[in-house]
Structure 1
Amino acid sequence: MAPPSVLISGAGPTGLILALVLLQNGVSVRIIEKELKHRIGSRGSGVQPRTLELYNILGILPDIQKEGAPIATMAKYNPGEIEPSPSPKLPSGSSPPQTYRTYPNGLSISQERHEEILRDQLQKLSCSVELGSELRSFEQFSDHVVAKIVKTNADGKQVEESTNFHWLVGVDGARSIVHKQLGLSFLGETQEEHIALGDIAVEGVDPRFWHMWHVPPKLLVLRSSSSTSKVFMFAYTGRPEHLAENPPTREEFIEEFYDVTGRRDITFGPATWMSNWRPNLRMVDTMRSGRVFIAGGSPFMSPSRPSLNTHVPDATHCHSPTGGQGLNSSVQDAANLGGKLALVHKGLAPVALLDTYSEERIRVIAHMLKVTTELYHKMFSGAGPADPSAWKRGSDLNMLGVNYCGSLIVFEDAAGAGVSSDAYSRAAGSTVQAAYCAPDASGLVRAGSADAPTTLFAVFHVSMHTMLLFGGDAGAHAPVATVLGRFPEAAVRTVLVIPQGQTAADDGALFSAVLEDQAGHAYAGYGLTAGELAVVVVRPNGVVGAVVSNARGIERYFQKVLV
């Protein structure tokens, strides 16, 4: 049997999502993890709205929603207080009027449980994570990569293998062999602060809230893993000098907690993991070299001396956890790379398409690093948590405005459209624009049927581009259908969206599906009318690749994307 086509080294959220995207594209995958056990701990628990949209397209959202809870409100206390003081609220969102966003607010879910759900999804596709398997070296050639992998069993016995793959993706950190052999720069800065982090069982505080005590220079926060869990992640800064450079013991943390809070009515159970975090605000300068890629980010660098079974990896982009962007940026890395890699591997796209992965993601990551660093400095300098601006997040952090403006494979024939220097800004105006996330729309019914209503997100799929045709008549549709007929069915799906009460006439057979916009959400949300033809090309990762008005525009877009 031939080996899998793609080797993924690292089984955090990035590697798991990448594996899911590739498998749903029919690309075989092997995913390895050097640890003997799956990582534990709540760690990155915030799942932003844009990630929820991607999970909807992937078909895994219901399990995440079942386990997730709304992002909690912060309860702020003065020392000794039982009842919280008036405190800042973590932000919530609402659907922008010009678009249709199904999930304006994020969810909170323990990363440990999050990864378990993703592994369960992999199992359904007959793929599982290989624990105790470490990539030790690799060599790449024009048509394959040779990977040397060392497998360690529970008894410590090691077996070395050398296996060929078409592609290699490293998602296991800046100190991984992929980073080392590629010689990547890791640009940025290291902060002076040392912050204690960990998970510990707590009795006496409400898990539906975050809890904060600020006694300058000390800041202590407890964040529950879920609205019903008694396991809280803690963050503690401003520790005494003799405790500052190493992970605290459980007893040291508890004594410091009582000293800061005056709350000896709160008691503690076992500590799952504890670590010392020194903020590193860094990113790589490229994410591809030939047949080898890197992906994924983390707010954590390796601790100076980890303890209690903690595993805090380095990453392609390291940043402050303030703002909850890390895991979510990693998911977007995986979705961007996975769709492109699948197209190239299946011979549907030119190899040059893979260069746009790094081009598009580096710009977004650089902006994310800037935003989270600014939030970090507001929180940990000057007045810190006492400053209301330290808690101001804004709707941009829900990531619904993340865009690929300026990308070589984004095309729009409207003058001046799709231009933005801000990788997190929302599109101006009320009309859908290329480079931005495609909005959802509900209330769509297959024309001429009594089927239950569906949504655009149910139509999109990670294995192909979706062509949405709005407006126009049979005379305008025919040339478009002719052009679309040249593209492989495995790469492009065509959907005609007709207004409420309209029929598809004689051209309905030209398309993969005809959907009637019975609720009006699609035309209104996309800012389009029935009078003029508009073709919206949605990429496999849910990003609008092109907005054009004729067959020639479609050809110009796909000249950049497909062979």
Structure 2
Amino acid sequence: MPQPSVLIAGAGPSGLVLALVLLQNGVHVRIIDKERTHRIGSRAAGVMARTLELYAQLGVLNDILAVTSPFGPMASYDFGELVPKSKTAFLFEHQEPTPDIPYPNTEAVNQTKHEGVLREHLAKLGCTVELAAELRGFEQSAEGVMAKIMHTAEDGRQNEETATFEWLVGTDGAHSVVRKQLGLSFLGETRTEHVVGLGDIVVEEGLGMDVAHMWFINGKMILVRPDDVNNKMFSFLYRTSSAEKPLTREDFVEEFYRITGRRDVKFGEATWLSKYTPNIRMVDTMRKGRVFVAGDAAHCHTPTGGQGLNSSVQDAANLGWKLALVYKKLAPASLLDTYAEERMRVIAHMLGLTTALGDTNRANMGKKDFKMQHPDAMRMLGVNYRGSSIVCEEPGAAEGVDDPYMGGVGGRVQAAYRAPDASELVPAGKQDKTTRLFEMFSASRHTVLVFGGDAGTRAPVVKALEHFPATGVIHAVLVLGQGNATPSDAPSFATVLEDRAGHAYKGYDVDTGELAVVVVRPDGVVGVVASDAEGLERYFKKILIAA
């Protein structure tokens, strides 16, 4: 096996997704974790719509959905009451899928199962997580990074290894060794007054598994949510008074009875228990030389809104394709600077958004008709990279209100925003088969969507595409309007699709008679919306050396 080029320290979701993106791009990686066993527990249970779309591009979505369940309704109770006063509250309001947003709803998944799916897909690519392997330090130079890794055997014996890599990425959590050794600031605040107890526990009787159960009584909150119907497992979350001593099963059970008055509820084994003190912090940069940080190593925040895991996964998606192009020497090393440029703006806004949301929920907790607030923005479908130096926006588009969580204007597809899906597309020559745009997008290549025009007006675009690297970096897709016959220039495109249902032209706001070129980056973000070959060339000159 070739020598790994990238060392990933930390095998949580951000590290696993980064490894998967790099491997799909042909980059050899090594991923280590200091824990002796894989983590268990239902922490970070919400997977947002934007993350589900990324998983579709990575080819892992079906397996993720097989271990998830929708966030169902929540039953709200008064003290001691067996019958809920309300069953209408939803943590995340259900929305119907549409041709452009096929996965609109937040899915609940036990992180143990979540990470297990990602590891299985890594294993198919020949990569496994090295447990009991702790990064103890590193030194970097212009040529690479020398890492010191401490391996601990089952009998406790330790062996230090020194290995050299081209790049190191720290996805090693809030106490990141990588961040600390880089000397990055981690400014912010710690909410010591908002300590949260959480864990997984069996409920033998007293609570149904068809809904989540919550109590807001005298300023106290406790939430118990079904996690696995097969073994009566529930996850719980509540505010506790101190982070000084570890949480025990008895602590939780006693507090549950005291807050709720529901001594009819009988608990079984607790499989995972933890305490969490919210930190609201972020780094001043996400890269120094050949070393990067991502996920909790770069930013921490309150659990409100379920943005933590999802933001971490989006970090990995943003960094992965850029690192792959630089590794292949198809892009300049300066492309890696845009990782922090794009992500820090989003993260800073997210910290403010989740902090304000958490403060609002706490202030209103216990009031009559209180409902936990989770704005639509939390689905992350509006997260954008406006103002990025590698995005070709329309003149003036980056001016005015700058909200990194807000969708585009007027429903039009715009550079810097997510690329929407479109279903019921028919591949040329395969009239009995349908596909969708999300099946065209990939974490290992740019997708160039060409709409409208005719063979003559498309000729400059076809010529421009010939100048770019042909080693799988670009996938050119011609999208024909309804009823259009296969044109003479069809062989110039890797894929030709007929938009038989009209979803693509409508969703991308394209007139069938006019040429439109949309470049979709490997992370699902639109790089440019152009009307000619010049716009296509302008974008790729920002990305590729050969362009």
**TM-score with structure 2 setting the length:** 0.95
2:227 to 216, 225, 228: 225
- The whole-number CA distance in structure 2 between the counterparts of 1:90 and 1:406 is 33
Partner of 2:328: 346
Identity of aligned residues (%): 56
Residue pair 1:91, 1:393 contacting (<8 A) in 2 also: yes
CA deviation vs aligned residue, 1:452-501 (integer Å, no higher than 9, x gap)? 10011111111110000011111211001111100012211111100011
Partner of 1:501: 483
Residue pair 2:214, 2:223 contacting (<8 A) in 1 also: yes
Partner of 1:194: 195
Cα offset, 1:225, TM superposition: 2.1
Question: Compared with structure 1, are the counterparts of its residues 221 and 394 closer, same or farther at alpha carbon in structure 2 (3 Å cutoff)?
Answer: same
Cα offset, 1:388, TM superposition: 5.5
Partner of 2:499: 517
Q: Does 1:469 align with 2:460?
A: no
Q: Secondary structure at the match of 1:130?
A: coil
Residue pair 2:386, 2:398 contacting (<8 A) in 1 also: no
Partner of 2:19: 19
Partner of 2:377: 396
CA deviation vs aligned residue, 1:35-73 (integer Å, no higher than 9, x gap)? 100011001111111111111111101111111111122
1:446 to 427, 431, 434: 427
Partner of 1:479: 460
Correspondence list, 1:41-440, <5 A: 41-86=41-86, 88-94=89-95, 100-191=100-191, 192-203=193-204, 204-226=206-228, 230-237=232-239, 239=241, 245-297=244-296, 315-380=297-362, 382-386=363-367, 391-413=372-394, 416=397, 420-440=401-421
CA deviation vs aligned residue, 1:305-350 (integer Å, no higher than 9, x gap)? xxxxxxxxxx321111111111111110111101111011011111
Cα offset, 1:13, TM superposition: 0.5
- The whole-number CA distance in structure 2 between the counterparts of 1:418 and 1:479 is 31
Residue pair 2:301, 2:308 contacting (<8 A) in 1 also: yes
Question: Compared with structure 1, are the counterparts of its residues 416 and 277 closer, same or farther at alpha carbon in structure 2 (3 Å cutoff)?
Answer: closer
Q: Secondary structure at the match of 1:406?
A: coil
Question: Compared with structure 1, are the counterparts of its residues 324 and 174 closer, same or farther at alpha carbon in structure 2 (3 Å cutoff)?
Answer: closer
Q: Secondary structure at the match of 1:347?
A: coil
Residue pair 2:97, 2:103 contacting (<8 A) in 1 also: no
One-letter amino acid matched to 1:518:
R
Question: Compared with structure 1, are the counterparts of its residues 17 and 397 closer, same or farther at alpha carbon in structure 2 (3 Å cutoff)?
Answer: same
Note the residue ranges of structure 1 that are not aligned, 5 or more in a row.
298-314
- The whole-number CA distance in structure 1 between the counterparts of 2:319 and 2:231 is 35
Residue pair 2:331, 2:543 contacting (<8 A) in 1 also: yes
Q: Secondary structure at the match of 2:161?
A: strand
- The whole-number CA distance in structure 2 between the counterparts of 1:389 and 1:404 is 35
- The whole-number CA distance in structure 2 between the counterparts of 1:446 and 1:418 is 39
Cα offset, 1:114, TM superposition: 0.5
Q: Secondary structure at the match of 2:86?
A: coil
- The whole-number CA distance in structure 2 between the counterparts of 1:493 and 1:258 is 59
Partner of 2:516: 534
Cα offset, 1:446, TM superposition: 1.4
- Name the Cα RMSD after superposition: 1.8
Cα offset, 1:89, TM superposition: 2.3
- The whole-number CA distance in structure 1 between the counterparts of 2:244 and 2:196 is 9
Residue pair 1:208, 1:228 contacting (<8 A) in 2 also: no
- The whole-number CA distance in structure 2 between the counterparts of 1:522 and 1:418 is 28
CA deviation vs aligned residue, 1:412-471 (integer Å, no higher than 9, x gap)? 346537975101101111321111110011111112333510011111111110000011
Q: Secondary structure at the match of 1:435?
A: coil
Question: Compared with structure 1, are the counterparts of its residues 362 and 96 closer, same or farther at alpha carbon in structure 2 (3 Å cutoff)?
Answer: farther
Cα offset, 1:229, TM superposition: 5.2
Residue pair 1:93, 1:395 contacting (<8 A) in 2 also: no
One-letter amino acid matched to 1:188:
G
- The whole-number CA distance in structure 2 between the counterparts of 1:38 and 1:284 is 27
Q: Secondary structure at the match of 1:11?
A: coil
Deviates more, 1:532-541 or 1:64-73: 64-73
- The whole-number CA distance in structure 2 between the counterparts of 1:419 and 1:455 is 34
Cα offset, 1:92, TM superposition: 2.1
Runs of 4+ in 1 over 6 A off after TM superposition: none
Deviates more, 1:19-28 or 1:247-256: 247-256
Q: Secondary structure at the match of 1:17?
A: helix
- The whole-number CA distance in structure 2 between the counterparts of 1:186 and 1:95 is 40
Partner of 1:31: 31
Deviates more, 1:152-161 or 1:407-416: 407-416
Question: Compared with structure 1, are the counterparts of its residues 452 and 253 closer, same or farther at alpha carbon in structure 2 (3 Å cutoff)?
Answer: same
Partner of 1:311: none
- The whole-number CA distance in structure 2 between the counterparts of 1:123 and 1:229 is 28
Cα offset, 1:230, TM superposition: 2.0
| Alignment size in residue pairs | 541
Cα offset, 1:389, TM superposition: 6.7
- The whole-number CA distance in structure 1 between the counterparts of 2:6 and 2:126 is 15
One-letter amino acid matched to 1:423:
P
Q: Secondary structure at the match of 1:391?
A: coil
Question: Compared with structure 1, are the counterparts of its residues 33 and 534 closer, same or farther at alpha carbon in structure 2 (3 Å cutoff)?
Answer: same
**TM-score with structure 1 setting the length:** 0.93
- The whole-number CA distance in structure 1 between the counterparts of 2:233 and 2:304 is 20
Cα offset, 1:402, TM superposition: 0.6
Question: Compared with structure 1, are the counterparts of its residues 546 and 95 closer, same or farther at alpha carbon in structure 2 (3 Å cutoff)?
Answer: farther
Partner of 1:310: none
Residue pair 1:219, 1:238 contacting (<8 A) in 2 also: no
Deviates more, 1:182-191 or 1:269-278: 269-278
Q: Secondary structure at the match of 1:359?
A: helix
Deviates more, 1:35-44 or 1:382-391: 382-391
Cα offset, 1:226, TM superposition: 4.2
Cα offset, 1:503, TM superposition: 1.9
Cα offset, 1:164, TM superposition: 0.8
Cα offset, 1:211, TM superposition: 1.2
Residue pair 2:393, 2:416 contacting (<8 A) in 1 also: no
Residue pair 2:174, 2:300 contacting (<8 A) in 1 also: no
- The whole-number CA distance in structure 1 between the counterparts of 2:28 and 2:139 is 20
